[in-house]
Amino acid sequence: MTPPAVRAADRAVVLIAEELSPATVEALGPDFEVRHCDGADRAALLAAIADADAVLVRSATRIDAEALAAAPRLRVVARAGVGLDNIDVRAATMAGVMVVNAPTSNIVSAAELAVALMLAAARHVSPAHAALRDGEWKRARYTGIELYEKTVGVVGLGRIGVLVAQRLAAFGMNVIAYDPYVQAGRAAQVGVRLVDLATLLAESDFMSVHLPKTPETIGLIGAAELAAARPGLVLVNAARGGIVDEAALYDALSNGRIAAAGLDVFATEPNTDSPLLTLENVVATPHLGASTQEAQEKAGLSVARSVVLALAGELVPDAVNVQGGLIAEDVRPGIPLTEKLGRIFTGVAGEVAQQIDVEVRGEITDNDVKVLELAALKGVFTDVIEHAVSYVNAPLLAAERGTAVRLVTEPDSPDHRNLITIRGTLADGSQVSVSGTLMGINQRERLVEVNGYDIDLEPTDHLAFFAYRDRPGMVGTVGQILGAAGVNIAGMQVSRNAKGGEALVALSVDTAIPAEVLADIESAMGAHHARTVDLV
């Protein structure tokens, strides 16, 4: 038996469980220890994944609850492709493991195959080739139809549907589309007229399906829809099996209601004995939509980049179990600041809040800022949870602890170009708040408010906050005790609500303040609130 590999102490382990392009490994860079195993060999996978920080797979490797349980260090599962049927996304989410895929890697390949199937079905390419190979020259029997000036109905106007529409428009086709989640204006931008499904069926000479497989789309094109279709329709499905009812399609093709079909997908795969394969007016391929060299290369490069981001603690736009999605460039600098604010919030509060509002104000709200809610939650729970907190499991942790979370956005920000505030209610009904902003061309992080007190402090690795009754000598007292303890003050802010009223001292220091020193300061000041926050 091969002994387990010895882990390099300073490098994360990336496990490649299936054959990927050399460019994928190169894209990971030199900072990781890259290992390989046969993911289809269950025993080999479970042994190899035990020490992995990330695993890259295609379709043959099953990452389920058992595999996740065997991988205590695992932080990210990367599927070099679009489908996730072989990955238990819910189990990964519960384990705090990010799941990423390559959603755009195969869109050109899939669109081109849909067009290829449409042309092949329209011109009887498959049966004509089979006849010729059998020594038969049957020109008259395989007379086809042109695409030019015909109407094509695109069902599903997502990224692949748009590419198909653009390519078919270049053939001189009139393109219409059905997609209840796309606005008419968006369709018009790509030269497509948006219609309902009934209209599409009635008007289309050709139809191409490009919908995801969901409970709502399974069986969407059934017997009733095929019966309502324009006679002689050529139907293509290169999306997902089950969207078109295969039994109904067989009947419609057999009786001539539907002229021909081009299929790349089936409800059950692999599938070599479908009745549809017995029909001469069907051209079929074994789920080849993503099977091009270019698509495989793009998928590998995409997930390699995602793994690098994930292991660096960055948010990954292609993570499928993280809310938010694509992150605007103007929002990105606010992510680390917001995470720090979350940690400061919990440090100041000293407990988990019952209600948290993540308030975002200013120009930044022109973008989708949902990611800042995630960053805040990650920060809030980082120092109170015994296991790793990630952008994946932070919302689950909040739900488990009964913490209600709300994102509040407001375009107006009177004092700062942009302002991020985390405001929460504790068990006793008291309120805690911290606010931060980014300043100047260099986007310097600044802590600008704590519990209603205005301050201006860099959120460095070590911070301290003391709330007390305003009176002379308190600043000197803090400095004297810290100096005696060998703790150097890097920055200090004093804020008060009124002369002789309540005041706050906020400090950034070069090293952590020991607990006994914090207690000495609290006692000497008569502080009614003393907290340290260490962000290292």
Instruction: Find the catalytic residue in 58, 210, 240, 361.
Output: 240
DSSP annotation of 276 reads G
Q: Which two tokens stand for residue 401?
A: 């602890």
| Residue 441 vs residues 333, 444, 445, 460: alpha-carbon distances, Å | 12, 8, 11, 19
Angle among Cα 234, 236, 238 to the nearest 5 degrees reads: 175
Measured in degrees and rounded to the nearest 5, phi and psi for residue 295 equal -65, -40
297 SS3 class: helix
β-strand pairing of 258-263 with 431-439: unpaired
Chain center to CA of 110: 21
Annotated catalytic residue 417: no
| Residue 199 vs residues 128, 181, 224: alpha-carbon distances, Å | 33, 17, 14
Cβ within 8 Å of residue 135, ≥6 positions away = none
Q: Which helix (H) or strand (E) holds 529?
A: strand 529-534
Strand partners, 414: none
**How far apart are the C-alpha atoms of 48 and 35, rounded to whole Å?**
8
β-strand pairing of 54-57 with 418-425: unpaired
Among 210, 203, 221, 227, smallest CA distance to 161 is for 210
Residue matched to tokens 């653009």: 166
**How far apart are the C-alpha atoms of 99 and 53, rounded to whole Å?**
12
**How far apart are the C-alpha atoms of 70 and 67, rounded to whole Å?**
5
Quick one: 466 exposed, middle or buried, by C-beta within 10 A (0-12, 13-18, 19+)? buried
Instruction: Find the catalytic residue in 230, 287, 305, 343.
Output: 287
For the sheet with 444-450, list strands across it.
Answer: 404-410, 355-362, 418-425, 431-439, 444-450, 453-457
Instruction: Find the catalytic residue in 149, 269, 351, 458.
Output: 269
Query: Helices 515-525 and 474-484, interaxial angle, to 10°?
Result: 160
499 SS3 class: coil
Residue matched to tokens 């019952």: 354
Q: Which two tokens stand for residue 104?
A: 């755009």
Q: Which helix (H) or strand (E) holds 435?
A: strand 431-439
Annotated catalytic residue 240: yes
Which residues are annotated as catalytic?
240, 269, 287
